[in-house]
Amino acid sequence: MNVGIIGSGTMGIGIAQVAATAGCHVSLYDANDIQTEKSLSDLRKTLAKLSAKGKISAEKADEVLNQIKPCTEISGLRNSDLMIEAIIENKEIKTKVFAELENLISQECIIGTNTSSISITSLSSELKNPERVIGIHFFNPAPLMPLVEVIPGLLTAEQLPQKVYDLMKSWGKTPVISKDIPGFIVNRIARPFYGEALRIVEENIATPEQVDVAMRTLGGFRMGPFELMDLIGIDVNFSVTQTVYKDYFYDPKYKPSLLQQRMAEAKLLGRKTGKGFYDYSEPGNTKDKARIGDKQPPNDLQRLIFMRIMSMLINEAVEAKRLKIATDEDLELAMQKGVNYPKGLLAWGKEFGYETISSTLQNLFDEYQDERYRQSPLLRKL
Ligand SMILES: NC(=O)c1ccc[n+]([C@@H]2O[C@H](COP(=O)([O-])OP(=O)(O)OC[C@H]3O[C@@H](n4cnc5c(N)ncnc54)[C@H](O)[C@@H]3O)[C@@H](O)[C@H]2O)c1
């Protein structure tokens, strides 16, 4: 299969590696040739390291690299059977590139987009043949994270989601099919992991460290919300929340946090700037300090933090189930394979007892009188 990838940044090169590893011929194009050279040189180093560690053979490393052909012109993608676009997250720029591509590629070529937040329907609607456009949303780093959300828009051909689903399986990925809604599955359901944690800190109930310790020790999450926001980038996480909030017509459930906005304004963006909720100026120091609390027995504050965040997350998963954003199985898989949650949220809700989740949310609603804490109509019926 010939796969054309547009955009050779973080995601584009990762997707190229996945496709090449699966044996596809990959053509990689970026408006910035230097970016493509840099990404390919980084990939060469990564593959050399993997082969030195015995994770892949030297032959396989060479094979993967040889399968990826850089192109300096977009016309180099002409013979693709599948295009995956991974350029800047900007609707106008993406639409312009699609229009250019449409005149170049064959009628049969599928156009996939790796957008995190732009509606697939809106990206396809300007094209002559919108039926061939579909969301193929990889998670970062693409070669390591198994999840791929496959997202048909309203105009996508009926049989295309299954075709792309099967293809992703053959690439060794864990695909799930999602409706074309803001944030798709993962970026929608995961919002309270960050949003509720930020609220707790804004209200001076706990510090970021206390929240992180609670979520790690009581929930078994690999990272707490604040260390994860520091890793993702405070600006990136804030912008996803803003988009989801706006696209749900300002639903209070997704209201962004002022604290996060101020952090972004101050360029306290996390690991990439050396300081976010934690200070990374002394390497190794922060993580060890923050994890001291993991060895202490859990206390009431930690239980309160944990139940508040978990109730919000489970409520969100139940609402996604009610709206049939995806099958129950895909909702569970998505959170485990896309963001490493230790369990699916529906299973977790069952374990807690949905009545407990419902009463926790009711108490929060009574206290704050905020629509943010409204329950999914399905929660009380489960
Ligand atoms: N980074 C993530 O964690 C992540 C995860 C999932 C999805 N995404 C989505 O993937 C897409 C790419 O994100 P990224 O993080 O790889 O970005 P990036 O900034 O690392 O790379 C984007 C690349 O696109 C190129 N580009 C910009 N305009 C172009 C054009 N008109 N034609 C050709 N190339 C062009 C840029 O030169 C750049 O190299 C975005 O839609 C993003 O929302 C990102």
Write the pLDDT tens digit of every residue in 166-225: 999 999 999 999 999 999 999 999 999 999 999 999 999 999 999 999 999 999 999 999
Say what the pLDDT of residue 253 is: 95
Query: Are residue 139 and residue 194 in the same domain, yes or no?
Result: no
Lookup: tokens for 248:
């749900």
The catalytic position among 39, 85, 117, 137 is 137
232/329 same-domain check: yes
Ligand 1 centroid–CA 104 distance in Å is 21
Tell me whether residue 76 is exposed, middle or buried, using C-beta atoms within 10 angstroms of its C-beta: 0 to 12, 13 to 18, 19 or more: middle
What is the value of pTM for the model shown? 0.94
Mean pLDDT score across all residues of the chain = 95
Identify whether 124 is part of a domain: yes
CATH number of the domain at 89, please.
3.40.50.720
Task: State whether 172 and 201 are in the same domain.
Answer: no
Residue minimizing CA distance to atom 37 of ligand 1: 32
Q: What is the pLDDT of residue 292?
A: 63
pLDDT at 19: 98
Over residues 23-38, mean pLDDT: 97
For residues 336 and 369, membership in a common domain is answered with yes
Asked if residue 157 and residue 19 are part of one domain, the reply reads yes
At 286, the pLDDT band (50, 70, 90 cuts) reads: low
Q: Does the active-site annotation cover 63?
A: no
Q: For ligand 1, say whether the CB of 142 is within 6 Å of any of its atoms.
A: no
Q: Please check whether residues 149 and 75 belong to one and the same domain.
A: yes
Domain that holds residue 47: 2-177
The answer to whether residue 291 scores a pLDDT higher than 80 is no
Residue 94 is which amino acid? K
Asked if pLDDT for residue 283 goes beyond 70, the answer is: no
Is ligand 1 within 6 A of the CB of residue 239?
no
269 within domain boundaries: yes
Q: How confident is the model at residue 307 (pLDDT cuts 50, 70, 90)?
A: very high
Q: Are residues 41 and 137 in the same domain?
A: yes
Does residue 25 have an active-site annotation? no
Query: How far apart, in whole angstroms, are the C-alpha atoms of residue 66 and residue 60?
Result: 10
Whether 211 is in the pocket of ligand 1, judged by its Cβ within 6 Å, is no
**For the chain, what is the domain count?**
2
b or e along 1-35 (b: 16 or more beta carbons within 10 Å of the residue's beta carbon)? ebbbbbbbbebbbbbbbbbbbbebbbbbbbeeeee
Last residue of a domain, one of 177, 209, 242: 177
| Co-location of 293 and 372 in the same domain | yes
pLDDT at 281: 84
Which of 120, 146, 177 is where one domain is finished?
177
Q: Within this chain, do residues 120 and 164 fall inside the same structural domain, yes or no?
A: yes
Ligand 1 near 114 CB (within 6 A)? yes
* Residue ID of nearest Cα to ligand 1 atom 39: 9
106 is catalytic: no
Q: What was the pLDDT predicted at 189?
A: 97
CA–centroid distance, residue 29 to ligand 1 (Å): 12
Residue 342 in contact with residue 220, Cβ under 8 Å?
A: yes
| Known active-site residue 116 | yes
138 contacts 15 by C-beta, under 8 angstroms: yes
155 shares a domain with 106:
yes
Question: Are 204 and 153 within one domain?
Answer: no
**What is the CATH number for 279?**
1.10.1040.50
Ligand 1 geometric centre to CA of 112 (Å): 14
- Decide: 226 and 215 in contact? Cβ < 8 Å: no
Per residue in 319-332, pLDDT (tens digit) is 999 999 999 999 99
Is 80 contained in some domain? yes
CB 346 within 8 A of CB 321: yes
Residue 153 lies in a domain: yes
**In a domain? residue 182:** no
Q: Is the pLDDT confidence value at 361 over 60? A: yes
Task: Work out which ligand 1 atom sits closest to the CA atom of 35.
Answer: 39
Atom of ligand 1 nearest to the CA of 13: 16
Report CA(265)–ligand 1 centroid distance (Å): 22
- Choosing from 39, 114, 119, 149, which is the catalytic residue? 149
For residue 372, what pLDDT band results from cuts at 50, 70 and 90?
A: very high
Tokens of 325: 């954003």
User: Do 192 and 166 belong to one domain?
Assistant: no
**How far apart are the CA of 91 and the centre of ligand 1, in A?**
12
Q: Which residues of 153-187 are buried (b: 16+ CB within 10 A; e: fewer)?
A: bebbeeebbeebbebbeebebbbbbbbbbbbbbbb
Look at residue 118 and give its three-state secondary structure: coil
Domain's final residue, options 134, 157, 177 = 177
CB 5 within 8 A of CB 101: no
Asked if residue 123 belongs to a domain, the reply is yes
